[in-house]
Structure 1
Amino acid sequence: MIGKDFFKAGHTPTLLAAFLYFDMSFMVWVLLGALGVQISTDLMLSPAEKGFMVAVPVLAGAVLRLVAGVLVDRIGPRRAGMICQLVVIAGLLGAWLIGVDTYAEVLAVGVVLGVAGSSFAVALPLASRWYPPRYQGVALGIAGAGNSGTVFASLFAPSLAVLVGWQNVLALATVPLGVAFLVYLFCAKDSPEQPAPKALPEYLAVLKTADAWWFMFFYGVTFGGFVGLSSSLTIFFNAEYGLTPVIAGFFTAGCVFAGSMFRPVGGALADRIGGIRALSFMYVAAAAALAVVSLGPASPWIALAVLVAGMGALGMGNGAVFQLVPQRFRDEIGVMTGLVGMTGGVGGFYLASSLGLAKQATGSYQAGFLGFAALALIALVSLTLVKRQWRATWGAASASAARV
């Protein structure tokens, strides 16, 4: 699926820089979820407060993705990425120096981490603009695999919090962020094929197109499921199965790894069999996995296996969606990445907060999981309804270069 022609078609240093920037940004974006057990113990948070705490960075990242998407089209992805990285590094160092001692201050840190979540709207256009349509699935799958950074948060943050305290983890996180910034500074370049900047009202013109709303919804389910679970599973495994924060983090890392590593597979599969067909399979698999885990498997190992399958499906679905988006909105890829990424974050906010609310209201996470499984099935039905129109219109125009 990836040959010599792929490497000749684009700019490999930029693709790798985009991946690393995305990777480290996602690591800190879900940091509150990885540290959630220790933070909630220190601050004595309720299940609903835990859910909202891990959902705030997701929502902030969703809103800021739209801002970042416009910034990308105005000043270019390279400079936009530099600004976002410096804001996050300064914010984390400031929080560590001042101290984070209340729930409100934790939520404020969550807003800063949302800037890291906006990296999606920068890294993907940075990579996408270097590659022709036939390689969009693979290129954006590789860059988008940077969401594997959530694995590092789940693997290392709980253990480091035990050793040095969770507040000091905020400062330690700036070390890999600084390394990623230096690599980005020296390796990332804007593509020569940059669309001309538009007047600000023109950026929202895409919202007049029904296809934009469909993509926003479809990604709200696939990426929303991925990031919502990434932020919540450490708390879930701790609360439901009594696992220690460190072991719960390891379990979460396994789930997140599957979702991250299968994203480029989903993009490449979409290039091979078509984005619509690949995405349809992923919705079925994800809905089934969420429904099974809602039943509360008796063993944490069974729950882990089911969630790994579900997260893998959601990750592949992310890659499939972004095999389709550049084919339909190549000239508006910056703002569309921001819009689609924003709704992906909104989906994650809904899932993370609904799990906490369900636990507090009913004593179980079941309603939260079932609600999102139902959304996946609604997305499947919707995709089935629009696929014929897509293939007959813009899909037919790009059929010689990439499969829809």
Structure 2
Amino acid sequence: MTAPSTAPASSRGGRWIQHWDPENEAFWNETGEKVARRNLFFSVLSEHIGFSIWTVWSVMVLFMGPEYGLTPADKFFLVSMATLVGAIVRIPYTFAVAIFGGRNWTVVSASLLLIPTVAAFVVMEPGTSFNTFLICAMLAGIGGGNFASSMTNINAFFPLRKKGWALGLNAGGGNIGVPVVQLIGLAVIGAAGGPRVLLGIYIPFIVIAAVLAAVYMDNIASVKNDTGAAKDAVKEGHTWIMSFLYIGTFGSFIGYSFAFGLVLQTQFGRTPLESAYVTFIGPLLGSLIRPVGGALADKYGGAKITLWNYVGMAAATGIIVIASMQKSLPLFTTAFIVLFVLSGLGNGSTFKMIPGIFQAKALAKGLEGEEAAAYGRRLSGASMGIIGAVGALGGLGINLAFRQSFLSVGSGTGAFVAFLAFYGLCFAVTWAVYLRRSASNASATTAATEAKPQLSYAEV
């Protein structure tokens, strides 16, 4: 049995594992699992803090009272630009792992979080220009990229039979960074602390995460960029269809995470403390339920769960519209939290669809066994970075919609009506592409048709 070697590669520095074969059960049981779990833990830590820094401005704007001279539209624009940068950097972060190594890039990406945190710490005071705040908010967006590189890195460490559990834990551990920073913000506000206190709490934790990654994580020498797979994924229509559907789920989750407290404060006149008391609940529940969405997709089919999840999201949004028009804070808050939960559930079911879709395409092409599995892994792995990036752009759309709605009618009602229509469109696309076709396939009874592999996505 060959143990995973961490001897440096001849031409590359750092902790490089030269031999890594997680599909070999003997290797996995003897040494592989221990190494993989160690890397998973410290990767989650860095990604978790990355999510917190990415969304820190959702808390910061609650601190920024009239003395800062910012309108509600200004605040929504700040969080929108953080969302935009976080979405864009996911694409280069996806491929950075193979260029620099998973351990090396985790150290770099964690260390980079010091830039937006220290910058905001220095300038966070009344009298600072809006453009300065905008630059700091955009810099915070780099925290959104940690998710993409962490998922790519951990995907390489685990065998296929363990990937669902590992990636689910990795994603959930990162997403929980959103409610954690909001909970810390609640504590700081409750203790009458200022925004600098919140930023100061994170600076030492960023340093600790980078140091622990350097000491305890590893690079896998065999991980290489497959530029051909990336090009094929861009050309594949399902990559863009699933990106659209992921806008509806993850885009909603991250967009509402940024906007929830600000909407409560702006539309319902809540104080920063009153807003912070409930802001964290939705993202927390949405993060925790993400693995449940994946498990339901395993059992009933991701397309079916996603379809009915959009029905639930539309219903919750309809209730929010009514509550917004009636100015009912309890109904509004309850429905908004339900919407968060459903967005998290949909995150799990939509992401679970991706490998199933490409596996179905492989079978329809006549591929079998390991050849089909390799085809599916190749395209699904390359498409996940694109889908994750485009999905995060949905958060930008949500915050810009809120900004326009408050500018136009003084409330978020108009934005919620637009979201309701969008969820209806997501429902229609899911049914038309992934469920309607399977029904027509089932009706095909001719011998010639039965002899030809058919695309059926109902169980993906």
Bucket of the pairwise TM-score, normalised by the shorter protein: 0.7 to 0.9
Aligned to 1:17: 42
Instruction: Give me the whole-angstrom Cα distance separating, in 2, the residues matched to 1:216 and 1:40.
Output: 37
Q: Which amino acid in structure 1 is aligned with residue 397 of structure 2?
A: Y
Aligned to 1:346: 393
Aligned to 2:248: 221
Of 100, 118, 121 in structure 2, the residue corresponding to residue 96 of structure 1 is: 121
Change in 2 beyond 3 A, CA 1:357/1:171: same
Aligned to 1:169: 198
The alignment status of 1:317 with 2:346, answered yes or no, reads yes
Q: Which amino acid in structure 2 is aligned with residue 45 of structure 1?
A: L
Aligned length: 393
Aligned to 2:178: 150
Instruction: Give me the whole-angstrom Cα distance separating, in 1, the residues matched to 2:152 and 2:123.
Output: 35
Aligned to 1:282: 309
Instruction: Give me the whole-angstrom Cα distance separating, in 2, the residues matched to 1:42 and 1:323.
Output: 47
- SS of alignment partner, residue 118 of structure 1: helix
Superposition TM-score, scaled by structure 2 size: 0.78
The alignment status of 1:127 with 2:174, answered yes or no, reads no
Contact 2:406 2:412 in 1 (8 A): yes
Aligned to 2:279: 252
Change in 2 beyond 3 A, CA 1:44/1:98: closer
- SS of alignment partner, residue 71 of structure 1: helix
Aligned to 2:18: none
Instruction: Give me the whole-angstrom Cα distance separating, in 1, the residues matched to 2:226 and 2:154.
Output: 21
Contact 1:159 1:246 in 2 (8 A): no
More off after superposition, 212-221 vs 322-331: 322-331
The alignment status of 1:383 with 2:430, answered yes or no, reads yes
Q: Does 1 or 2 have the higher relative contact order (CA < 8 Å, sep 6+)?
A: 1
Instruction: Give me the whole-angstrom Cα distance separating, in 2, the residues matched to 1:17 and 1:221.
Output: 30
The alignment status of 1:303 with 2:328, answered yes or no, reads no
Q: Which amino acid in structure 1 is aligned with residue 156 of structure 2?
A: R
Contact 1:358 1:365 in 2 (8 A): yes
Contact 2:243 2:388 in 1 (8 A): yes
Q: CA deviation at 1:217?
A: 0.8
The alignment status of 1:43 with 2:76, answered yes or no, reads no
Aligned to 2:321: 294
Change in 2 beyond 3 A, CA 1:140/1:108: same
Contact 1:120 1:337 in 2 (8 A): no
For 1:330-381, what per-residue CA distance to the aligned partner results, in whole angstroms no more than 9, with x for missing partners?
2255643331121122100010121121012111201111212221221121
Of 353, 356, 359 in structure 1, the residue corresponding to residue 403 of structure 2 is: 356
- SS of alignment partner, residue 173 of structure 1: helix
Change in 2 beyond 3 A, CA 1:17/1:277: farther
Contact 2:302 2:349 in 1 (8 A): yes
The alignment status of 1:231 with 2:258, answered yes or no, reads yes
More off after superposition, 168-177 vs 217-226: 168-177
Aligned to 1:69: 94
Q: CA deviation at 1:21?
A: 2.1
Of 3, 28, 43 in structure 1, the residue corresponding to residue 53 of structure 2 is: 28
Instruction: Give me the whole-angstrom Cα distance separating, in 2, the residues matched to 1:272 and 1:75.
Output: 38
- SS of alignment partner, residue 129 of structure 1: helix
Gaps of 5+ in 1: none
- SS of alignment partner, residue 139 of structure 2: helix
Instruction: Give me the whole-angstrom Cα distance separating, in 1, the residues matched to 2:207 and 2:162.
Output: 30
Q: CA RMSD in A?
A: 2.8
Change in 2 beyond 3 A, CA 1:88/1:233: same
Larger Rg belongs to: 2
More off after superposition, 14-23 vs 210-219: 14-23
Aligned to 2:449: none
Change in 2 beyond 3 A, CA 1:43/1:205: farther
Q: CA deviation at 1:159?
A: 4.0
More off after superposition, 89-98 vs 143-152: 89-98
Percent of residue pairs bearing the same amino acid type:
23
Aligned to 1:107: 134
Aligned to 1:207: 234
Instruction: Give me the whole-angstrom Cα distance separating, in 2, the residues matched to 1:225 and 1:215.
Output: 15
Change in 2 beyond 3 A, CA 1:335/1:171: farther
Instruction: Give me the whole-angstrom Cα distance separating, in 2, the residues matched to 1:294 and 1:40.
Output: 27
Of 263, 271, 296 in structure 2, the residue corresponding to residue 269 of structure 1 is: 296
Aligned to 2:79: 54
- SS of alignment partner, residue 157 of structure 2: coil
Q: CA deviation at 1:183?
A: 3.8
Superposition TM-score, scaled by structure 1 size: 0.88
Instruction: Give me the whole-angstrom Cα distance separating, in 2, the residues matched to 1:184 and 1:74.
Output: 17
Q: Which amino acid in structure 2 is aligned with residue 301 of structure 1?
A: P
